[in-house]
């Protein structure tokens, strides 16, 4: 369960970049809508002209959106490093969320300077969902990381030695955890890998 939640959260975050992030409007009329991928990679928009055909204008990629998108993709891969390395995807989620907040501030500042309040930015569902998912992924992985550090240390008990019937040499019984298949030493009541009860 723990190993599946994090990559799913980051995968959905990546998919949310395909949704509308920002809508630009002028005097109440929508001018353009940009998805997260368009902000991250750049795109072209058609600007209507008073006379003639619309003119295409290149909109450069926003570096903050690009790095946030990379954080979402990296989070998927980092999620498979294991419970003990869960701090890595947690950091990826935190950085992604902070970059989106910074992007929002930068875009609002840029549009107010250039357009002298003629244009207005509206942040769409894709932006909001991506931000929420980044925070959720960071919180989940931080919880997994810190719970994996505390639970096994408190729960593990010393292994029990059994005298062999012949020879009297002590042996240590071991078994596999029914939850994550990691080897568990005999007598331990909790798995050192996932922290769940094995008895």
Is the same domain home to 169 and 144?
A: no
Is the same domain home to 60 and 85?
A: yes
Helix (H) or strand (E) holding 37: helix 36-41
Q: What is the mean pLDDT of the chain?
A: 81
Q: Find the CATH number of the domain harbouring 43.
A: 1.20.140
Boundaries of domain holding 197: 156-199
Is the same domain home to 112 and 199?
A: no
Give the pTM: 0.69
pLDDT score recorded for residue 65: 94
How do beta strands 20-26 and 29-35 pair? antiparallel
Q: Please compute Rg for the chain using Cα positions.
A: 26
Mean pLDDT, range 23-50, rounded to an integer: 81
Instruction: Please give the residue that has the higher pLDDT: either 51 or 61.
Output: 61
Is the same domain home to 146 and 161?
A: no
Is the same domain home to 145 and 56?
A: yes
Is the same domain home to 144 and 181?
A: no
Lowest mean pLDDT among 12-16, 66-70, 97-101, 110-114: 110-114
pLDDT score recorded for residue 115: 53
Is the same domain home to 137 and 165?
A: no
pLDDT in tens, 156-179: 455 544 444 445 555 455 677 877
Lowest mean pLDDT among 49-63, 139-153, 161-175: 161-175
Number of domains in the chain: 2
Is the same domain home to 36 and 100?
A: yes
Is the same domain home to 86 and 8?
A: yes
Mean pLDDT, range 108-118, rounded to an integer: 71
Is the same domain home to 165 and 130?
A: no
pLDDT score recorded for residue 179: 76
Q: How far apart are the first and last CA of the chain?
A: 19
Instruction: Indicate whether 103 pLDDT > 90.
Output: yes
Strand partners, 4: none
Is the same domain home to 104 and 193?
A: no
Q: Left, alpha or beta for 116 (phi > 0: left; psi -120 to 50: alpha)?
A: left
Residue 7: pLDDT band by 50, 70, 90 thresholds? very high
């Amino acid at each position: 369960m723990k190993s599946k939640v994090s990559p799913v959260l980051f995968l959905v975050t990546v998919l949310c970049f395909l949704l509308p992030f920002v809508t630009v409007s002028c005097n109440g009329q929508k001018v353009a809508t940009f998805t997260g991928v368009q902000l991250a990679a750049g795109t072209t928009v058609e600007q209507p002209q008073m006379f003639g055909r619309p003119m295409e204008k290149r909109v450069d990629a926003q570096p903050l959106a690009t790095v946030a998108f990379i954080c979402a993709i990296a989070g998927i891969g980092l999620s498979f490093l294991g419970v003990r390395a869960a701090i890595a995807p947690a950091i990826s989620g935190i950085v992604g969320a902070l970059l989106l907040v910074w992007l929002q501030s930068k875009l609002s500042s840029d549009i107010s300077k250039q357009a002298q309040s003629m244009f207005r930015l509206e942040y769409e569902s894709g932006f909001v969902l991506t931000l929420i998912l980044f925070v959720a992924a960071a919180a989940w992985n931080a919880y997994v990381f810190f719970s994996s550090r505390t639970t096994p240390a408190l729960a593990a008990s010393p292994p029990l030695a059994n005298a062999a019937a012949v020879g009297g040499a002590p042996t240590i019984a071991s078994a596999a955890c029914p939850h994550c298949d990691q080897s568990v030493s005999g007598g331990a009541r909790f798995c050192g890998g996932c922290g769940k009860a094995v008895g």
